């Protein structure tokens, strides 16, 4: 699950938010000041930061701008406040915040915002990596002209909709691999979330969040496939996956659930 950083000078609020998020399956770290948050961001990689606006010393807006200027944070930031005006919230969004939560924060609102923001961020990151991958992929003529000894390999596995490009950053490769992994399991198990949860050893709630964060549309996978004339096409994606897997040498037989 995602790791979240909660930044708030009030201990009670930090503890409540941390407990709620931990109960929902997230890994949580907490900071009581801007300086503590800076130190954690330098040594850890978070997938979301909840940042209070009003804090002694360096306030949340100043810290948000600082991180944006130095490009030290590579995750969405959601601002929180119980005293800020609508203008302050809008300014926070203009400064780079992904969303704004007004205190007191309801349990439903907190979890909904966290889930939505992380999902949108991951989907945007995946699309960005795909666009970069497309731009970086040279044509056959360019490959012949280029000094290919300086390029790391790129493996394309179209039946799994997977491209493993060793020239990309670690995060981009992981996103592509995770998306192919869960998409393949969903097709193999005929879109049964229960079977995929058992196969991947994940709780169903966490699995739903993971699939959504990776930009996999369950309804789209389950929807009937139609041709240009609007006629129903037999869904043979599972058959193709099994045929492809059986054709691979030294393959371990698939598990039966």
Q: What is the pLDDT of residue 149?
A: 47
Q: What is the pLDDT of residue 124?
A: 85
Across residues 222-236, what is the average pLDDT? 61
Are the C-beta atoms of 215 and 126 separated by less than 8 Å? yes
Are the C-beta atoms of 3 and 28 separated by less than 8 Å? yes
Q: What is the pLDDT of residue 158?
A: 81
- Higher pLDDT pick, 51 / 126: 51
Most confident of 9-23, 129-143, 156-170: 9-23
Residue 156 pLDDT class (50, 70, 90 cuts): confident
Are the C-beta atoms of 35 and 9 separated by less than 8 Å? no
Helix, strand, coil fractions of the chain, as percent rounded to 5 = 55, 15, 30
- Higher pLDDT pick, 45 / 147: 45
Q: What is the pLDDT of residue 6?
A: 97
Angle at alpha carbon of residue 124, lines to 119 and 129, rounded to 5°: 125
User: pLDDT tens across 166-182, in order?
Assistant: 888 888 888 889 988 99
User: Is residue 250 predicted with pLDDT exceeding 50?
Assistant: no
Task: Tokens 């909709």: give the residue.
Answer: 161
Task: Give the C-alpha separation, 86 to 102, whole Å.
Answer: 10
Q: What is the pLDDT of residue 83?
A: 74
User: Is residue 238 predicted with pLDDT exceeding 70?
Assistant: no
Looking at the chain, the whole-number percentage of residues with pLDDT higher than 90 is: 36
- With both helix axes pointing from N to C terminus, report the angle between 60-70 and 34-43 in degrees, rounded to the nearest 10: 30
Across residues 201-219, what is the average pLDDT? 83
- Compute CA distances 68 → 62, 96, 254, whole Å: 10, 7, 46
Domain covering 3-105 assigned CATH 1.10.10.10 in the classification = no
- 91, HSE (Cβ side, Cα atoms, 13 Å): 11
Task: Give the C-alpha separation, 121 to 178, whole Å.
Answer: 15
Are the C-beta atoms of 166 and 154 separated by less than 8 Å? yes
Q: What is the pLDDT of residue 126?
A: 80
Are the C-beta atoms of 40 and 31 separated by less than 8 Å? yes
User: pLDDT tens across 10-40, in order?
Assistant: 999 999 999 999 999 999 999 999 999 999 9
Looking at the chain, the whole-number percentage of residues with pLDDT higher than 70 is: 77
Residue 76 pLDDT class (50, 70, 90 cuts): very high
Q: What is the pLDDT of residue 252?
A: 45
Task: Give the C-alpha separation, 216 to 159, whole Å.
Answer: 16
Q: What is the pLDDT of residue 223?
A: 66
What are the boundaries of each domain within the chain?
A: 3-105, 141-247
Residue 3 exposed, middle or buried by CB count within 10 Å (0-12, 13-18, 19+)? middle
Q: What is the pLDDT of residue 204?
A: 84
Across residues 44-66, what is the average pLDDT? 93
Q: What is the mean pLDDT of the chain?
A: 82
Name the nearest CA neighbour of 179 among 199, 202, 161. Answer: 161
**In this structure, is the dihedral angle defined by the CA atoms of residues 63, 64, 69 and 72, taken in order, positive or negative?**
positive
Q: Do strands 48-52 and 77-81 pair parallel, antiparallel, or not at all (unpaired)?
A: parallel
Q: What is the pLDDT of residue 170?
A: 85
Task: Tokens 């389950």: give the residue.
Answer: 222
Across residues 134-150, what is the average pLDDT? 54
């Amino acid at each position: 699950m995602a790791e979240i950083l909660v930044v708030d000078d009030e201990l009670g609020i930090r503890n409540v938010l941390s407990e709620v998020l931990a109960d929902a399956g997230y890994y949580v770290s907490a900071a009581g000041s801007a300086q503590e948050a800076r130190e954690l961001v330098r040594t850890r990689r978070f997938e979301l930061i909840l940042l209070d606006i009003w804090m002694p010393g360096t306030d949340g807006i100043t810290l948000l701008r600082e991180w944006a200027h130095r490009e030290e944070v590579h995750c969405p930031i959601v601002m929180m406040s119980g005293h800020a005006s609508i203008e302050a919230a809008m300014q926070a969004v203009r400064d780079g915040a992904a969303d704004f939560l007004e205190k007191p924060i309801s349990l439903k609102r907190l979890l909904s915002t966290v889930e939505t923001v992380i999902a949108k961020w991951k989907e945007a990151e995946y699309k960005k990596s795909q666009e970069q991958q497309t731009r970086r992929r040279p044509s056959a003529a360019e490959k012949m002209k280029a000094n290919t000894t300086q390029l790391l390999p790129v493996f394309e596995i179209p039946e799994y909709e997977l491209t493993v490009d060793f020239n990309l950053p670690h995060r981009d490769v992981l996103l592509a691999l995770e998306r192919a992994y869960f998409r393949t399991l969903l097709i193999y198990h005929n879109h049964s979330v229960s079977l995929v949860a058992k196969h991947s050893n994940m709780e169903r709630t966490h699995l739903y969040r993971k699939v959504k964060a990776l930009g996999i549309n369950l309804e789209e996978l389950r929807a009937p496939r139609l041709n240009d004339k609007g006629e129903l096409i037999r869904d043979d994606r599972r058959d193709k996956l099994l045929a492809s897997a059986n054709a691979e040498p030294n393959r371990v037989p698939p598990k039966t659930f």
